[in-house]
Structure 1
Amino acid sequence: MNLKFSHKILLAASGVVVLAFALFTLYNDYLQRNTIARSLESSIEQSGDLTASSVQNWMSGRILVLENLAQNIAHQGSGADLPGLVDQPALTSNFQFTYVGQANGVFTQRPDAKMPDGYDPRQRPWYKQAVSADKTMLTPPYSAAVGGLVVTIALPVKHNGELLGVVGGDLSLETLVKIINSVDFGGIGHAFLVSGDGQVIVSPDKDQVMKNLKDIYPGTPVRIGKGIQEVELNGQDRILSFTPVTGLPNAEWHIGLSIDKDKAYAPLSQFRTSALIAMFVAVAAIALLLSLLIQVLMRPLTTMGRAMQDIAQGEGDLTRRLVVQGKDEFAVLGGSFNQFVERIHASISEVSSATRQVHDLSQRVMSSSNASLVGSDEQSARTNSVAAAINQLGAATQEIARNAADASQHASGASEQADDGRQVVEKPSRP
């Protein structure tokens, strides 16, 4: 991809801005996440402690009222006025039902309600557990014969070591629901009451009541104890925390706090969105301003580039010079360019002068060559004439040679004839 230098600067600057914002966002994200986590943990701890304290105080007050009833009955013995004692305003206003199950099977309850035929308090779990524990105890939630789901505070009544019966009081879970729902998390979570074995006793979500935590959160093992843990419920991440309710007899209750993690960390998501928008705005603004600034700053380089392009295309005016202002890098480059053009101009001038001299010399050489060419033509013609004469002379010479050969042959014949004649003359005549 071919990019101009200015485009590379814009891309580099945008990259730097994006990197800076990314690092800033990551750092602040880390700080805010830790801050939110610490604040959330502190808020959860405080809310858990306050709610647990409220439940403990509420339960302790009602336990004391019921223990006071048991003391009055024990003090009066077997002849105690049970209906009158059970019908006290302090009891009827705090308990859904207050009752005494005597060792002989007689059952006294206020407010009075018709019990099922054959009802025997001695067979009820609350009676058996109180007698077995021999102290104040708190039953797990159960369905009462009248009044729905309740928890019972029960304690044995003894007179001189003899069991007179068991005093009990039913507390409606609705009262605990009001206490639990009073915990305000600003719409990001809720509180619930859970037993030590994980059974939910009170919850704003009625579908969770009387269910175990392992059934509510099947994908994640839930640990009932101090500290924050993350679980998943119906595809939603939630934060759980448990605070023990102290001071309860024969029972282990915990205040559970369930927080929607996404809502709890919503400020962090808002910060990320704001940072992302700010980054895009900053990149756009910097790109726009930097593009305008680059056009001004790159003007000397643009002028220099055009001048060099003119030179490269053979149409440059080497007498022109760049205007150099300031002492920055472009000024140094412009000065160097002017020196370069000046040297090129001087070199081209010298080459042009030498070229003219060579041209003049070549003209003279050409004239001399033309004159020599003319003389060469005349000389060639003369040479041709001489060559023709030489050829003719050669032919005549050959003719003379042939004639001389013939004459030599004829002379040889005449010589032989002369020798023959001489021999004939010199031969002696016979006598």
Structure 2
Amino acid sequence: MLSSLRLRILAVTLVVVALALIINASVSYLTLETHNEAQIGQQLDAVASGNARAIEEWTRARADMMEATREPVMGDDPLTALIQLAESGGFLSAYIGRPDGSIMTSDGWDAPDDFDSTTRGWYTDAVARDDTIISRPFVDAVSGKQVVSFATPVKRDGRLAGVIGADVVIDDLIAEVAAIRPTPSSFAFLSRGGETLIAHPDAELIQQRLTAVSDSLTPELIARLGHQADAWEPVRIDGDAKRLVVAPVAGTDWELGVVLDEDEATAGLRAVLESAVMTLVIIAAITALLLGLWLKRAFAGLERARDALEDIASGEGDLTRRLPEQGRDEVAQIAAAFNRFIAKMHDVLLDVRDSSESVRIAATEIADGGQDLSRRTENAASSLQQTSASMEEITSTVEHTAESSRQANGLSESASQVARRGGEAVGQVVDTMQGIRDSAAQISEIVTVMDGIAFQTNLLALNASVEAARAGEQGRGFAVVAGEVRKLASRSAEAAKQIKGLIDTSSVRTEEGAAQVRAAGETMEEIVASVTRVTDVLGEITAATGEQSDGIGQVNVAVSELDRMTQQNAALVEESTTAAEQLKGQADRLAEAVAGFTLRERDQGDHRSAMPRLT
């Protein structure tokens, strides 16, 4: 879209013109809107306040008449004063109500017997306010017209003497309010206390609540606008946007509202806006026409240059051809610059053509050498992989041997510990046998003592027998005891001999066992020493095997690293070979690309004047 430079310039110019006109129209519109708003506000306020003053004069004149009649009605002829009041003020009837409930009227109306003037609204309101009041509108029963009552209290010596009242038809006032129309769709209304309608263009709304016109016409809104000068607020009546201005009627609780239609109030602004839009469209159309004709003429030379470039680009890349350089404008300058650029490109492509052939030959040699180096590197990598596999097998065998040596060393250490514990146990047995031998010697000594005791007992028993024999019959019982004692002594001696024999035999055997235990202890000590030497040797073998395993592991790591580096070198060689192949391919493509251009030969020199030009 808008690919043509001429169309872009035309579009940008139209946009700039449109923006300028829009900005100018916007500034004018905003300025006019500000003045229009102020003017509308002033006009509305003038209409509302002027008509409110007229209504105020109407009510003030009648209130003054009522107040001027206070003295005459208190004279000798109050009826004449009431008649004059009715005629001068245009009242239907004038009357005075007295505190006793009686009433006198200017038209001679006879009140019924139960009539009490003090209970009437006009009477009570005037007494309550102690000033002239205007009642709510009502329909007169006789004439059927809209009527309001004026009432003012009358006092004598500071005491209430009565209330003067008068009824006046307000049809003319309603007509005057209905005639207030700032615009065809605008209207005015007269209300009392912001609640009850006194006058309205629609007669059916009179004496109804003001909210019957619109729910937004609340007493609060009417009171707020009545206390603000030159102020209006937007309202919606029957779905249309309106502007409301309220002017209070001085001396009364009435207020005059003027409702202005929003569309009619801003009709002038819309007309100005429509004129600005039409002006914008007309100026934009004229500008587009004139500028388009001028651009078409101005870009004719550039289009010729474009056609010439397309002719060169769509051919076979003949860089010996040149653009025409007729004229002195920018198009001729572009053609001259392009011809100089083509000449430089021609020389550069000649150099590229010669260099591409050299690059192709060098790339071919690099690719061949890279392929040869890649084969040798792959062979070396294969050998290193085999070496690495063999080293891994050796490493596995050495690790297995080292593990077996560590297990044998652990077993020998366990055997050494067991033999050591056995030697200690044999030593304890030797000590125990020595203790048994000592105990046997002690028992032998005790048995010897017992044998001696038995021998002495036997001697004592023998002596006792001799003494009993000497005693005769008296010692017979003692002799019997002595004989028993000698028998026991003999038996004890015999048992002691047997025990001694057993102890001697046990001592001999104990001595033999002790000798055997000592021999076994010496043998265990030799076993412990041998196992200790075996453990030391296995420890040395284990250490040597571990060092050998670590050394082989380092060799294996070195071989793996060498294999990894060889693999990397092989990958680099392959990448280099691939790059050389790609370089060769690029050189071929470069040669083909350069061959696509028609170039002069080197032996033609700088005979550029002989190059053909496009006509």
TM-score normalised by the chain length of structure 1: 0.70
2:52 counterpart residue number: 52
SS of match in other structure, 2:142: coil
The answer on whether the counterparts of 2:62 and 2:89 sit within 8 Å (CA) in structure 1 is: no
The answer to whether 1:351 aligns with 2:348 is: no
CA separation in 2, counterparts of 1:49 and 1:116? 44
Match of 2:135 among 111, 127, 139: 139
How far apart, CA to CA, are the structure 2 residues paired with 1:195 and 1:11?
Answer: 63
Selected match of 1:176 from 173, 178, 193: 173
Please state how far the C-alpha of 1:307 moved relative to its aligned partner.
Answer: 1.3
1:68-217 paired onto structure 2 within 5 Å: 68-74=68-74, 76=75, 79-82=76-79, 84-88=80-84, 91-111=87-107, 120-147=116-143, 148-161=145-158, 163-181=160-178, 183-187=180-184, 189-217=186-214
SS at match of 1:16: helix
* Matched letter for residue 70 of structure 1: R
Does structure 2 retain, via aligned residues, the 8 Å contact 1:230–1:238?
A: yes
> Any gaps of 5 or more consecutive residues in structure 2?
351-596, 606-615
Q: Secondary structure at the match of 1:238?
A: strand
Tell me the alpha carbon deviations over residues 129-156 of structure 1, each in whole angstroms, 9 at most, x when there is no partner.
2233333222222344434332211012
Q: In the alignment, which residue of structure 1 is the partner of 2:294?
A: 293
**What displacement does 1:216 show?**
2.7
Instruction: Go from structure 1 to structure 2 and tell me whether the alpha carbon gap of 1:194 and 1:334 turns closer, same or farther (over 3 Å shift).
Output: farther
Q: Match of 2:285?
A: 284
Once the two structures are TM-superposed, the CA of residue 302 in structure 1 deviates from its matched residue by 0.6
- Between the aligned partners of 1:351 and 1:137, the Cα distance in structure 2 is 115
1:231 and 2:247 aligned: no
Quote how far apart the aligned CAs of 1:173 are: 2.3
Per the TM alignment, residue 92 of structure 1 is displaced from its structure 2 partner at its CA by 4.9
**Separation of aligned partners in 1, 2:288 and 2:277:** 16
Give the secondary structure class of the aligned counterpart of 1:34.
helix
Q: 1:318 aligns with which of 318, 321, 343?
A: 321
How many Å apart are 1:319 and its aligned residue? 5.9
Alignment deviations for residues 146-191 of structure 1 (CA, whole Å, 9 cap, x no partner): 3433221101233445544321122222132244345452435222
Change (3 A) 1:207 1:279: farther
State the SS of the aligned residue for 2:599. Answer: helix
CA–CA separation in structure 1 for the residues paired with 2:77 and 2:99: 14
Which amino acid is 1:228 matched to? W
Corresponding letter in the other structure for 2:72: N
- Deviation of 1:350 after TM superposition, in Å, equals 9.6
Secondary structure class of the residue paired with 2:147: strand
Structure index of larger Rg: 2
Q: What amino acid sits opposite 2:120 in the alignment?
A: R
Partner of 1:414: none
Deviation of 1:238 (Å): 0.5
Residue 297 to residue 172, structure 1, CA distance change in 2 (3 Å): same
Instruction: Give the C-alpha shift of residue 58 in structure 1.
Output: 1.5
Does the aligned pair in 2 maintain the 1:318–1:342 contact within 8 Å? no
Kindly provide the amino acid, as one letter, of the partner of residue 237 in structure 2: L
Q: What is the rounded CA distance, in whole Å, between the counterparts of 2:37 and 2:112 in structure 1?
A: 54
- Helix, strand or coil at the partner of 2:97: strand
Letter of the aligned partner of 1:245 in structure 2?
V
- Structure 1 counterpart of 2:215: 218
Please list, as runs of the form range in 1=range in 2, the aligned pairs for 1:244-393 lying within 5 A after superposition: 244-246=248-250, 248=251, 251-314=252-315, 318=321, 321-326=324-329, 329-340=330-341, 351-353=599-601
> Would the alpha carbon gap of residues 335 and 115 (structure 1) be closer, same or farther in structure 2, given more than 3 Å must change?
farther
1:308 Cα shift? 1.0
Distance 2:217 2:129 in 1: 35
Contact kept, 8 Å, 1:318 with 1:345, in 2: the verdict is no
Amino acid at match of 1:324: G
> How far off is 1:343 after superposition?
6.3
SS at match of 1:86: helix
Gaps (5+ residues) in structure 1? 358-431
Residue of structure 1 equivalent to 2:244: 240
Q: 1:244 to 1:49 in 2, by over 3 A?
A: same
SS of residue matched to 2:207:
coil
Q: Distance in 2 between the 1:310 and 1:235 partners?
A: 70
Distance 1:50 1:330 in 2: 75
CA drift of 1:345 comes to 8.6
Please tell me whether the aligned partners of residues 14 and 287 of structure 2 are also in contact (alpha carbons under 8 angstroms). Answer: yes
CA RMSD of aligned residues (A): 3.3
| Mapped partners of 2:283, 2:186: distance in 1 | 37
Aligned partner of residue 351 in structure 1, secondary structure = coil
CA spacing shift, 1:210–1:18, aligned 2, 3 Å = farther
Q: 317-326 or 342-351, which moves further after superposition?
A: 342-351
Instruction: Return the alpha-carbon distance in structure 2 between the equivalents of residues 280 and 144 of structure 1.
Output: 64
1:66 aligns with 2:81: no
- Provide Cα deviations, 1:395-428, integer angstroms capped at 9, x if missing partner: xxxxxxxxxxxxxxxxxxxxxxxxxxxxxxxxxx
Cα distance, 1:332–1:108 mapped onto 2, change above 3 Å: farther
Deviation at 1:69, TM superposition (A): 1.7
Paired amino acid for 2:249: V
TM-score (norm: length of structure 2): 0.51
1:92, 1:111 within 8 Å by CA — same for their partners in 2?
Answer: no
Note if contact 1:188-1:264 (Cα within 8 Å) is conserved in structure 2. no
Q: Percent identity?
A: 24
> 1:126 deviation in Å?
0.8
User: Does the CA-based 8 Å contact 1:54-1:179 persist in structure 2?
Assistant: no
Distance in 1 between residues matched to 2:114 and 2:103, nearest whole Å: 11
Q: Which has the higher strand share?
A: 1
Counterpart position of 1:408? none
CA 1:210/1:290 → structure 2, altered by over 3 Å: closer, same or farther?
same
2-structure distance, mates of 1:297, 1:61: 84
In structure 2, what is the Cα distance between the partners aligned to 1:230 and 1:350? 82
Give, in whole Å, the separation in 1 of the partners of 2:172 and 2:113.
29
